[in-house]
Amino acid sequence: MKALSRDELLALPAVVDLVTAARALGIGRTRAFELTRRGEFPVPVLRVGRTYRVPTAGLLRLLGLAPGGEAIGDRMVS
DSSP 61-75: HHTT-BTTBEEETTE
What tens-digit pLDDT sequence spans the chain (78 residues)?
A: 678 889 999 999 999 999 999 999 999 999 999 999 999 999 999 999 999 999 999 999 999 987 555 544 444 444
pTM attached to this predicted model: 0.81
